[in-house]
């Protein structure tokens, strides 16, 4: 059985899991998911991420205001986040960033203000960031170059050239179900071009379900299919790697990035860092 699955980005607080959240979490842990970062999108969901991390030794939390949630954020969001980053098992600030896809999102300047304030918060608390960049590659890269955080650009959708720019900054590239989509050539091109030392795997569960489960709700155990797809594509190009090796390397990368222990710590009150 394949194991050592580290899902660097999932949302088990999502309402898609209301009916069976705890069964799914327990089941995928048995299926080899050894670590996952539950990523917050606003204040309430960040608190829910912390609650999940408190309940399950293998889950860690990230807190932040997603660019699509900027328009509904409270004025004192930085003060509120500042309380949350100090909670046990909070290992990152995110997801934060820019989303120029939806017209009803906050204006670009407002999104950038929130993004920069949260990049500064992360720096202040020496935490990595989890970046959301949708159709905002230029501004995202500019702000990452300006603030030089540690972290990952999640669900990476830019070009190979942009991926290399991100890696030059010392940041990681987060790859998920999109690498398995037949109509999306860029994600798999990135997945085969970048050094594996800078790759982490993710699901974005309940979204971005990989082939062959398209149309179903995503969960972290499905990362195996993403990993298999990347390993096969790299092997075809002569960079031989098998699925388990890729799972091991990306787990080690994520462990280093988020400074989480390889083994479960059953004392949830101890802040791991």
> What backbone torsions phi and psi does residue 58 show, to the nearest 5 degrees?
-85, 0
Range list of β-strands (E), the chain: 5-10, 33-39, 59-63, 90-99, 129-134, 151-153, 172-175, 199-201
Q: Which range in 134-142, 188-196, 198-206, 253-261 contacts Ni ion by CB under 5 A?
A: 198-206
| 133: contact with Ni ion by CB under 5 A | no
CA separation, residue 128 to residues 92, 108, 111 (Å): 5, 23, 19
Show the binding pattern over residues 254-273: x = contacts Ni ion (CB under 5 A), - = does not.
--------------------
Residue 116 CB, nearest distance to Ni ion (Å)?
A: 20
Nearer to Ni ion, 48 or 204 (CB): 204
Contact positions with Ni ion (CB under 5 A) in 40-69 = none
- Reduced to 3 states (helix: H, G, I; strand: E, B; else coil), residue 100 is coil
Q: Which range in 110-118, 133-141, 196-204, 248-256 contacts Ni ion by CB under 5 A?
A: 196-204
Q: Which range in 134-142, 178-186, 200-208, 226-234 contacts Ni ion by CB under 5 A?
A: 200-208
The residue sitting closest to Ni ion, measured at its beta carbon, is: 204
DSSP annotation string for 147-198: H---EEETT--S-HHHHHHHHHTT-EEEE-GGGG-TT-HHHHHHHHHS-GGG
Nearer to Ni ion, 2 or 21 (CB): 21
Give residues in contact with Ni ion (CB under 5 A): 204
């Amino acid at each position: 059985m394949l194991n050592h699955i580290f899902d660097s980005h999932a949302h088990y607080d999502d309402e898609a899991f209301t009916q069976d959240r705890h069964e799914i979490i327990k089941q995928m842990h048995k299926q080899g998911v050894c670590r996952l970062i539950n990523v917050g999108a606003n204040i309430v969901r960040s608190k829910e991420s912390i609650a999940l991390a408190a309940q399950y030794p293998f889950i860690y939390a990230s807190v932040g205001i997603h660019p699509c949630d900027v328009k509904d954020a409270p004025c004192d969001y930085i003060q509120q986040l500042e309380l949350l980053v100090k909670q046990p098992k909070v290992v990152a600030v995110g997801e934060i960033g820019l989303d120029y896809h939806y017209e009803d999102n906050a204006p670009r300047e407002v999104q950038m203000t929130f993004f920069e304030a949260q990049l500064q918060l992360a720096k202040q608390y020496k935490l990595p960031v989890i970046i959301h960049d949708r159709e905002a590659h230029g501004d995202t890269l500019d702000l990452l170059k300006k603030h030089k955080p540690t972290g990952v650009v999640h669900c990476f959708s830019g070009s190979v050239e942009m991926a290399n720019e991100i890696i030059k900054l010392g940041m990681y590239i987060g790859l998920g179900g999109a690498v398995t989509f037949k109509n999306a050539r860029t994600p798999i091109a990135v997945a085969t071009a970048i050094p594996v030392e800078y790759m982490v795997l993710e699901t974005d569960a309940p979204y971005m379900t990989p082939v062959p489960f398209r149309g179903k709700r995503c969960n972290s155990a499905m990362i195996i299919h993403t990993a298999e797809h990347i390993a096969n594509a790299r092997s075809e190009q002569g960079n031989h790697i098998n699925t388990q090796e890729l799972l091991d390397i990306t787990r080690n990368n994520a462990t280093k990035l988020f400074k989480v222990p390889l083994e479960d710590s059953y004392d949830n009150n101890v802040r791991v860092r």
